[in-house]
A = this chain, B = another copy of it.
Amino acid sequence: RLTPPQLLALVYLAGILIGTALLHLPGVQRPAANLSSIDLLFTATSSICITGLVVADTGEAFTRLGQIIIITLVQIGGLGILTFSTLFAFLTGRRLNFSERQGLVAQLNALNVGGVMPLLRAILAYTFVTELVGAVLLSLRFVPQYGLGEGLYQAVFHSISAYNNGGFVVLSGGMTPYAADPLVSLTISALVILGGLGFLVQLNYVSHLLQPRRNRLLVYSRLTMLTTSILLVLGTLIILALEWNNSRTLGALSTPGRFLAAFFQSMTPRSGGFSTVNIEAMNTATIFTVIGLMFIGANSGSTGGGIKTSTFAILVGSAWNMVRGRGELIVFRRRVEGENVVRAGSITTLYTLLVATSFFALLATNPKLGFTHLLFETVSAAATVGLSMNTTHLINDPGLLILTALMYLGRIGPLTFAVAFSLRSTQKRNVKYPPERDILVG
């Protein structure tokens, strides 16, 4: 009998294998593409784990059939993580006691989706409606540009890719031509942000807006919304300040275009993976900012990755608390249990160790590629972002396998993965050890 973390890990592993097999079918890649089996494994993993890193331009290397397989994997990967994480977010990684289960059920009831099947139906419906609206908006630009059939295809493809934080693009020339186009940039941004908020938060806000008295805003929703907003605004300001006069990035655009592109590039590291300017051409300080935003990532229970906004907020809040000499962490007039703080620390530690180990392995196997380029690539894969400093196609096969493993572990979450396959210490501890207060740290 599988535990939820084991189920999650195995489902995505199966998805990778099936996706790789499908991409090996004839008529999937264009003859000139010449992608190896490792390239296809990488592409399938990038699709099902909704990352968006690519070894070759998706529009050029894959036929229409191949593109449809990829976007289907993205949609399955996105729905899968939304469902799993909403259902099991409270379960993975720690055993819940009875009162905690009650709390979970009460909250789901508060969201008017008590029960598994109603929840699943709600997620499916919500995803479908959001993607439909996104596709309609995008088609307003793409249909005039590409004609009805191709325009609708492009609109649907990129709406799915954006809402699931997929990061795959099949537009010839990528998204760069739309850097100053509010319709495309803002539609994609809205879809990415909604996807990155996660289903619980969205539903909580919608229910609250409809019936404020009946449905209170969860502390979690308010905390993640606040953190997301702060990161968005801060990122936009930093990118504006640093890239304003960089002729290879914002400098080439009109003033409103610069604001739009700065906002877009601040939004996308939270795991969208699309870019409307050449990341590689940015200043190193901007690139470091993007790396930081990718590492923090999006919300728990969303299609985004990273350590998650709530983890980051709790770590910073807890540190600030210690500075102020306060015993308890209070967020929106609620006391955060110490267990949450320890858990946030452990997730960040595991995540950092995973990123550091993979980065080390990538540097050792690809010594000629740049430190910055590979660090960017590593964090992008671990946080399932999909942005690249145009490096992915230069990485050798051992490097691609490292990134493949990293995208998978990043999607599942290193803690969930470790919990899924670690041996539980079944023997009860009968020994009570005396406490040790005086271990100096820092």
Known contacts A301-B440, A319-B353, A323-B350; 17 further A-B pairs (Cβ under 8 A): A218-B438, A284-B371, A285-B367, A308-B442, A311-B441, A311-B442, A315-B346, A315-B349, A318-B349, A322-B415, A324-B423, A325-B422, A333-B433, A337-B435, A338-B338, A340-B436, A343-B442
Complex CA distance for A95 and B327, rounded to whole angstroms: 10
Among B93, B323, B343, the residue within 8 A (CB) of A422 is: B323
Q: B323 touching A441 by the CB < 8 A rule?
A: no
A289 partner residues in chain B, CB cutoff 8 A = 360
Q: A283 touching B363 by the CB < 8 A rule?
A: yes
Instruction: Show 17 A/B contacts (Cβ-Cβ < 8 Å), sorted by A.
Output: A89-B440, A94-B322, A103-B437, A218-B438, A219-B439, A284-B371, A287-B371, A315-B345, A318-B345, A319-B345, A319-B346, A321-B346, A322-B415, A325-B422, A334-B433, A334-B436, A335-B433
Among B90, B307, B370, B436, the residue within 8 A (CB) of A331 is: B436
The closest CB in chain B to the CB of A333 belongs to B433
Distance to closest chain B CB from A240 (angstroms): 13
Complex CA distance for A415 and B415, rounded to whole angstroms: 28
| Chain A 72-85: CB-based contact to B (< 8 A → 1; otherwise 0) | 00000000000000
A residues 131-155 in Cβ contact with B at 8 Å:
none
Q: Which of A285, A299, A348, A370 has the most CB of B within 10 A?
A: A285
Q: A344 touching B441 by the CB < 8 A rule?
A: yes
A442 partner residues in chain B, CB cutoff 8 A = 93, 300, 307-308, 311, 343-344, 347-348, 351, 413, 415
Q: B438 touching A220 by the CB < 8 A rule?
A: yes
A residues 345-374 in Cβ contact with B at 8 Å:
345-351, 353, 356, 359-360, 363-364, 367, 370-372, 374
| Chain A 230-246: CB-based contact to B (< 8 A → 1; otherwise 0) | 00000000000010000
* A104 contacts B by Cβ under 8 Å: yes
* A288 contacts B by Cβ under 8 Å: yes
Q: A436 touching B322 by the CB < 8 A rule?
A: no
As for how many copies of this chain the complex holds, the number is: 2
Closest 5 CB pairs of A and B: A347-B442, A345-B345, A300-B440, A334-B436, A285-B363
Distance to closest chain B CB from A270 (angstroms): 15
Q: B340 touching A308 by the CB < 8 A rule?
A: no
Q: B341 touching A342 by the CB < 8 A rule?
A: yes
* A336 contacts B by Cβ under 8 Å: yes
Q: B283 touching A347 by the CB < 8 A rule?
A: no
* A50 contacts B by Cβ under 8 Å: no
* A330 contacts B by Cβ under 8 Å: yes
* A418 contacts B by Cβ under 8 Å: yes
A residues 151-196 in Cβ contact with B at 8 Å:
none
* A425 contacts B by Cβ under 8 Å: yes
